[in-house]
Amino acid sequence: MIGRLVAAGVWFELWHLPTRFAVPVMACYLWWEDQPTVLVSGSGAHLSPAVALARAIIEAAQSRLTLIAGSREDTAPVVYRPGSYQGPVSTGTPCTPWTRIAGAYALAFDTHHDEAAHLAKAVTAATGTPPLAIDLTAGIYARDEFAVAKVCAPNLRYDARHTIPRPRREE
């Protein structure tokens, strides 16, 4: 995916965002000259750093496609105005080698249930409250072809909405 971004001439920035749960979280920021007022972003989390990175890149690309399609009614009109704008400036933070990031995470599980149990234990240890999961495809709604669940983690707080602020270099 990174090769495709480079080949397309896209400005992009990738960030590893460490968490207290030891789960790799990645963020991706994309910018193209054809929509110069927009810096789109995406993030992804997974116990595999490579999967987390792929999710971040895909989500950022989906955000761009959403703007191209014009399918969100909360997009500011300035996004579609022509003009000459300077692209994003690098944060100046030096790159961390991928091998160092990937090497920091060595967890692997045999089943999704084992992985979910590990994550539930980490959330419980950090918050004092276990996450709640409700299977929405149980009973009369049970399906073989898909599953839907609602998970709530009390005492966790997520403040960012609709944007993923770019990290700043620590001084």
Element (H, E) at 45: strand 40-45
Nearest to 6 by CA among 57, 46, 44, 41: 57
Q: What is the pLDDT of residue 160?
A: 59
Nearest to 37 by CA among 101, 99, 90, 80: 80
Q: What is the pLDDT of residue 81?
A: 78
Q: What is the pLDDT of residue 170?
A: 46
Q: What is the pLDDT of residue 131?
A: 94
pTM score, whole prediction: 0.80
Q: What is the pLDDT of residue 29?
A: 92
Structure tokens of 81?
């105005």
Q: What is the pLDDT of residue 169?
A: 54
Per-residue confidence in pLDDT tens, the chain, 171 aa: 999 999 988 889 999 998 888 899 999 999 888 777 788 899 999 999 999 999 999 999 999 888 888 888 888 887 777 776 677 777 777 788 999 999 999 888 999 889 999 999 999 998 899 999 998 888 887 888 888 889 999 888 766 566 666 776 544
Q: Is 5 left (phi over 0), alpha (psi -120 to 50) or beta?
A: alpha
Helix, coil or strand: residue 43: strand
